[in-house]
């Protein structure tokens, strides 16, 4: 089966990201990466149950933290948490992020893969105060050069800097002249560690899939090292096909 068919056989809530929550440790890593501090007004767009809001307030002492999500149950959960902890400078809004007022933000966590939402939010982010930091995970804001990277965490600061090409953007993220198997594996592994299930076998499987996706995208963009398919890439393509019945080779432009 083609990888696209495999992905569409998985639960929709996982593929859409609706039910995916960042762990508390990953949130702390992100906050250290962006140097979240006491003068910040922090927003988490698509905040889910909202642990990010209490961590930002209690451990990073931000001035204000706001979580926005269009799922009312998750928002109620967050509001209860704030009440229980008697926190007054935090709040949760049951809203669509594409219309929410975020004008006073200094740091925004924005982990979305839906292209329409990303496009819509990029034009809104551009009107925010200069210096406002937008954190994304795995990919930068489409069309803009990242200002800081600790993969898979990526920072774009207002005003954004246009990327000349997807190629330039990708090379900046991977901080290299070309992408070989080892680079693809290292970055895929960092992603699995940040958002994976902490189940070694599942995370290894995710790393294999992501490594092949990174390498094949690099090859198609002309930024893989050399013309040949490296042996480990060939082996993993074979393992996926033989043992998991998942086919990725057709993703390669010939």
142 binds ligand SAM (CB under 6 A): no
For the segment 68-87, give every residue that binds ligand SAM (CB under 6 A): 68-71, 74
Distance CA 126, CA 156 (A): 10
236, with CB counted inside 10 A (0-12, 13-18, 19+), is buried
CB burial of 91-119 (b: ≥16 within 10 Å; e: otherwise) equals bbbbeebeebebeebbbbbbbbeeeebbe
Considering the rule CB under 6 A, would residue 114 count as an interface residue with ligand SAM? Answer: yes
Select 20 or 166, whichever has its Cβ closest to ligand SAM.
Answer: 20
Q: Binding of ligand SAM at residue 91 (CB under 6 A)?
A: no
Q: Please state the closest distance from residue 213 (CB atom) to ligand SAM, in A.
A: 16
> Looking at 31, 111, 174, 215, which residue binds ligand SAM (CB under 6 A)?
111
Report the relative pairing of strands 133-137 and 107-110 from DSSP bridges: parallel
Choose, by CB under 6 A, the member of 8, 13, 16, 142 that binds ligand SAM: 16
Count interface residues toward ligand SAM (CB under 6 A).
Answer: 19
Residue window 22-51: x/- pattern of binding to ligand SAM, with contact defined by CB under 6 A: ------------------------x-x---
Q: How far is the CB of 15 from ligand SAM (least distance, A)?
A: 9
Tokens for 49?
């149950």
Report in angstroms how near the CB of residue 119 gets to ligand SAM at its nearest: 12
Q: How many Å apart are CA 191 and CA 195, to the nearest integer?
A: 6
> Shortest Cβ distance from residue 22 to ligand SAM (Å)?
7
Retrieve residue 102's tokens: 């975020």
Token digits for 77?
């959960």
Distance of CA 3 to the CA centre of its chain: 21
Token pair for residue 200?
């070694």
| Residues of this chain that bind ligand SAM (CB under 6 A) | 16-18, 20, 46, 48, 68-71, 74, 96-98, 111-114, 117
């Amino acid at each position: 089966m083609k990888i696209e068919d495999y992905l569409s056989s998985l639960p929709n809530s996982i593929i859409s990201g609706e039910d995916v929550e960042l762990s508390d440790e990953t949130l702390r890593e992100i906050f250290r990466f962006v140097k979240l501090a006491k003068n910040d007004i922090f927003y988490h767009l698509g905040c889910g149950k909202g642990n990010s809001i209490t961590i930002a307030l209690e451990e990073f002492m931000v001035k204000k933290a706001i979580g926005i999500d269009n799922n009312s149950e998750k928002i109620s959960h967050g509001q209860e948490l704030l009440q229980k902890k008697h926190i007054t400078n935090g709040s949760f809004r049951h809203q669509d992020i594409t219309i929410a007022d975020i004008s006073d933000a200094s740091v925004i966590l924005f982990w979305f893969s839906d292209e329409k939402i990303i496009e819509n939010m990029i034009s809104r982010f551009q009107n925010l105060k200069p210096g406002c930091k937008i954190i994304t995970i795995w990919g930068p804001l489409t069309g803009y050069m990242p200002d800081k990277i600790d993969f898979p965490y990526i920072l774009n600061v207002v005003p954004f800097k246009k990327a000349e090409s997807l190629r330039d953007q990708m090379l900046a993220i991977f901080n290299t002249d070309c992408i070989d198997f080892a680079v693809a594996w290292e970055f895929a592994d960092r992603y699995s560690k940040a958002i994976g299930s902490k189940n070694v076998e599942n995370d290894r499987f995710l790393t294999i899939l992501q490594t092949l996706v990174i390498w094949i995208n690099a090859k198609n963009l002309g930024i893989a090292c050399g013309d040949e398919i490296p042996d480990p890439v060939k082996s993993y393509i074979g393992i996926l096909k033989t043992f998991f019945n998942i086919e990725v080779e057709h993703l390669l432009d010939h």
